[in-house]
Amino acid sequence: MWDICIIGGGASAMAAAITAASENPGLSICVLEKKDALGKKLAATGNGKCNLTNAGCPNVRQTLEFFSSMGIVTRTDEQGRIYPYSQQARDVVYGMIRQMKALGIRTRTGCTAERISRVPGGFQIAFGGGEELSAKRVLLAAGGKAAPQFGTSGDGYTLAKQMGHTITRLSPVLTALDVKEDFRLLKGIRMKASVGLWKDETLISQEEGEVQFTAEGLSGICVFDLSRFVKFEPGEAFSEGIGRYGIRLDFLPHMDLRQVEAFLDERCGIPGLKAKELLLSILPSILAERLLSAAQINGDVQAAQVTEEKLRILAGLLKGWKLTLSGVKGWKTAQCTSGGVELSEIDERTMESRLAPGFYFAGEIIDYDGPCGGFNLQNAWETGIKAGKAMAASL
């Protein structure tokens, strides 16, 4: 019987294995990974640069010490996002695998855990091909459902349920949003704006940053962050709930509405300026045309001839172009899962199950999701380190 078996070979699993082996070097530890290599998702994080944590996370120091102990050096950008100094995610994966080997941790890739049950003194795990192994402690670190191309297709929830755990409502987050309006001509535009997510007539959350227009809607980090707040009532169908959400784009967040109105009035005084040039150097021309047409302004007349009323409408559109949500991009493109193993069923100091002593959780499988910026990997390291310490101390 193994001392510790870890299901999943991603970020949290590797952090837990390294911690447990470092704390208690005599332990026999095995890591089972479904894909043909460990850390495939980790290698793709942060556009291949791996935004591994954030200076604003309360336990960032522990994470940095953890990485520094295996020779991984980091750098912090102006927004507090922390990356390996080389900005190469594969260096983090390599460094962790190297450390695991040095600590004698056994890994088995191409191995999908399918069933888990209790046996005297521990647990039995059945994996593909009718094989089984048993372990005194088990850590379930199989991730969520986001980005299944990296092995995370939601198996972990099935295994957690086999141990009696509850799974809260799951949805893809940190993903692009689709809108009802026709965006085909706007595809490819990128520009800084403030983006508000509204539900009915209430502002839910607001972010500022670079917005990317896609053929179906909006993308970009600030939009990803808003996707975390698109939630449905219990029993509410997606098709009903989604239409209650809207986006308002503010293209001039540093000015209030009055200032934008005054600014447009002033521009109308520029000699010879055509109406279609009113937004010249403010918005990309295709987007400017779209807003001018929504304000029913004929681009070919002189700007000075545009009526006050139409200028007010244009100012309103610049400060809050209203769009209606039609969808949230699905699991394949999402970076994270909202929902997961019910938190009250886990002892958050040790990550041990309150329902099945000896059984632990770490990473995205638990009901936690954070914004972009390193918060989700921080959750993986933090919960992995806690579980690794607790498992090692319990043996």
The pattern of x and - marking residues 372 through 391 that bind ligand FAD according to CB under 6 A reads --xxxx--x-----------
Q: Write the secondary structure of 364-383 as one string of H (helix), E (strand) and C (coil).
A: HHECCCCCCCCHHHHHHHHH
- DSSP string covering 295-324: TT--TTSBGGGS-HHHHHHHHHHHHHEEEE
Q: Which residue has the tokens 């638990």?
A: 366
Query: Judged by CB under 6 A, does residue 162 bind ligand FAD?
Result: no
Query: Judged by CB under 6 A, does residue 155 bind ligand FAD?
Result: yes
CB of 381 to ligand FAD, least distance (A): 9
The pattern of x and - marking residues 307 through 336 that bind ligand FAD according to CB under 6 A reads ----------------------------xx
Cβ atoms of 37 and 62 closer than 8 Å: no
Which residue number, 315 or 346, has a Cβ lying nearer to ligand FAD? 346
Task: Candidates 64, 82, 100, 113: give the one binding ligand FAD (CB under 6 A).
Answer: 113
- DSSP string covering 79-142: TSEEEETT--HHHHHHHHHHHHHHTT-EEE-S--EEEEEEETTEEEEEETTTEEEEEEEEEE--
Task: Candidates 59, 88, 112, 124: give the one binding ligand FAD (CB under 6 A).
Answer: 112
**How many residues interact with ligand FAD (rule CB under 6 A)?**
41
CB of 10 to ligand FAD, least distance (A): 2
Q: How many Å apart are CA 32 and CA 141, to the nearest integer?
A: 10
The CA dihedral of 288, 292, 297, 301, to the nearest 10 degrees, is 0
Task: Candidates 74, 99, 152, 175: give the one binding ligand FAD (CB under 6 A).
Answer: 152
The packing angle between helices 375-394 and 11-23, to 10°, is 30
Query: Judged by CB under 6 A, does residue 44 bind ligand FAD?
Result: yes
Q: Which stretch binds ligand FAD (CB under 6 A): 96-104, 151-159, 203-211, 273-281?
A: 151-159
Residues forming beta bridges with residue 7, ordered by sequence position: 32, 140
Which residue number, 34 or 386, has a Cβ lying nearer to ligand FAD? 34
Residues that bind ligand FAD (CB under 6 A): 7-13, 32-35, 40-42, 44-46, 50-51, 112-113, 141-143, 146-147, 150-152, 155-156, 335-336, 363-365, 374-377, 380
